[in-house]
A = this chain, B = another copy of it.
């Protein structure tokens, strides 16, 4: 560990004075814990309600191994063996707030000695290594349908070398944020993407367009032929050019979140709405559920590998509807969301 590499709660890292190649997971943890605290405070100030805090520790045996009722008949599902063996987290949740109908921000830090075959198949060099994963994940479902739902995630993975092997740690960062409006506003979409682009600007002009395209690609409901929302940025497996720079980039994304979303929420929170807008919001929230449960790798891996269900599913919306083949009236604001916003566009 390099004690000179550390993050403050506002996320600045002096990458000049330190060995930029030294992996410092303690610094990442300190930053993540501070980021969660900072976002909780900003949201509480805006909402007027407090988040509930739920500190949890990982059990050693996964639920799926404990309570399966019957093994008499054929096994129904190929399930990953539990991959997580230690650690815990802090889940902060606000339900029934004036601004947030349901919002969760989770910090987790889990570790283990054995990765599941799905992880080591593609990276055989991970076999036998002690690994650690940490991150902050957030989904906010506002009450007012004119405020978009938003998602942020920043995460870090490191696998230590086997003692005496002389090998290096294997590590990467991942994350991003994306916006899911129920009613489209050019101004809001442009502001969100502009803030993302500004945060990434120090890391090269090509970074924002690359992460923007990656986000469009990832948050796409293939079974609907439809994007989840108006996108944002997404990245994974980031281990270039060195630890300090990749960490600084991840910090820029996390630290940019409040500026990306809160001005939009403030601008729309007093926008009048009625039953019609709430119903549309509930139907569109159904798409959010579909994406998270059918396509989102993090959610599926977590649920299938014995992760903490309530923390993973804090992303679920508070009230959701499904209706057969629902089509908004042509020319309506609801139809305009689909035709003008849920299409690939450059917002900056």
Contact = CB atoms under 8 A, between A and B. Distances in A.
Interface of A: 52, 54, 63-64, 66-77, 79, 91, 93, 95, 102, 104, 210, 213-214, 216-218, 220, 222-227, 236, 282, 286, 289-290, 293-295, 297, 300, 303-304, 306-307, 309-310, 312-314, 316-325, 343-344
A210 B289 contact: no
A297 B74 CA distance: 14
B73 A220 contact: no
Contacts of A318: 321-323
11 contacts: A66-B225, A69-B220, A72-B210, A72-B213, A73-B217, A76-B295, A93-B324, A223-B304, A289-B289, A293-B294, A314-B324
A227 B69 contact: yes
Given A70-B216, A70-B344, 13 more contacts: A64-B225, A68-B220, A69-B217, A69-B343, A70-B213, A71-B217, A73-B214, A76-B214, A79-B222, A224-B309, A310-B324, A310-B325, A319-B319
Contacts of A77: 222, 295, 297
Nearest to A290: B293
A336 to B, nearest CB: 18
Given A214-B73, A217-B76, A324-B310, A63 B319 contact: no
A344 B216 CA distance: 44
A198 B174 CA distance: 55
A74 to B, nearest CB: 7
Number of copies: 2
A74 B307 CA distance: 26
Most chain B C-beta atoms within 10 Å of own C-beta, residue among A64, A104, A227: A64
Most chain B C-beta atoms within 10 Å of own C-beta, residue among A79, A91, A217, A227: A217
Contact of A104 (B227, B289, B324): B324
A308 to B, nearest CB: 9
Contacts of A226: 67
A319 B316 contact: no
Given A72-B213, A217-B72, A64 B222 contact: yes
A224 B77 CA distance: 15
A112 to B, nearest CB: 18
A306 B223 CA distance: 6
Contacts of A303: 222-223, 294
Contacts of A294: 293, 300, 303-304
A66 B220 CA distance: 13
Contacts of A344: 69-70
A69 B118 CA distance: 27
Contact of A320 (B93, B217, B222, B321): B321
A54 B325 contact: yes
A70 B217 contact: yes
A51 to B, nearest CB: 11
A41 to B, nearest CB: 20
A225 B313 contact: no
A225 B213 CA distance: 38
Nearest to A141: B322
Nearest to A323: B95
A75 B218 CA distance: 8
Contacts of A309: 223-224
A90 to B, nearest CB: 13
